[in-house]
Amino acid sequence: MDELTTALAADLDRAFPTLVDQMGPRLYWGLRRMCGDHQEAEDLTQETFIRAYRALDGFDRRRFEDLRLAPWVWTIALNLGRNHLRDRSRRPRFVEIQDHGREDPDLPDQRAWDARFAALNRNQRTAVVLRHVVGLGIGEIAESTGRPEGTVKADIHRGLDHLREMMEQEK
């Protein structure tokens, strides 16, 4: 087991915030690229972590030993993205204390990239995002999406080709 998984197995409540710190940014930005919407990506990120916490709470030692954290968390996130299951009315809602409130974090060419990713089919979009935004390996992507490695490679390849074509046409 890696250091974080060991810590989660030893004291879930204490270690879980570290998991959120480590995986949160790439989870959010991966989902953000996949769905193209800040609010939805934020909801999905929170929901994914909450589901992950509940699942880990019931894990025994062996399940922790077999756990591959990143692909496992992404399996949860991708399933949620498909089902949109929410039960937000049953939990407390964070109140922003700062003045600026919650804004869509702005990146250069944000809208242009949203449009390009939206033009890809779902499998290609998921594969490209998991490989190049999130930084998962081919094997990990195959695990989280439940698709064979060869198919994942082909999806990434075709997805990148489409993105290149779109950028060429924009010039």
Partner 1 sequence: MNIEQQIQDLTGALPDGISEGVALGTGIADGYDFYESAVGEVVVTFNPNGVSSLSLASEDFEGYFAYRYGRRLIRAEAPSAWSGHIPTAIEAGTPGKLPVDLSSVTPFQTRILRIAATIPKGEVRPYGWLAREAERPGAARAVGSTMARNPIPLIIPCHRVVKSDGTIGAYSLGGPHIKWELLTHEGADPVLLENLAEHQVRVQGNVSTHIFCHPTCRAIRRSKPDNVVNFKSGRAATEAGFRACGLCRP
Q: Which is closer to partner 1, CB of 101 or CB of 146?
A: 101
Identify which of residues 68 and 132 has a Cβ nearer to partner 1 in the complex.
Answer: 132
Which of 129, 142 has the CB closer to partner 1? Answer: 129
What torsion, rounded to 10 degrees, do the Cα atoms 137, 139, 145, 151 define? 100
By residue count, the chain amounts to: 171
**First-last CA distance in the chain:** 48
Which residue lies nearer to partner 1 by CB, 82 or 93?
Answer: 93
Q: Shortest approach of partner 1 to residue 49 CB, angstroms?
A: 4
| Shortest Å, Cβ 8 to partner 1 | 12
The answer to whether the CB of 127 falls within 8 A of the CB of 146 is: no
List residues near partner 1 by CB under 8 A: 13, 16-17, 20-21, 24-26, 28-29, 33, 38, 42, 45-47, 49-50, 53-54, 88-98, 102-103, 105, 107, 113, 128, 132-133, 135, 160, 163-164, 167
What distances in angstroms separate CA 14 from CA 20, 53, 74, one per listed residue? Answer: 11, 12, 22
Q: CA 83, CA 30: separation in Å to the nearest integer?
A: 17
Min CB(96)–partner 1 separation in Å: 6
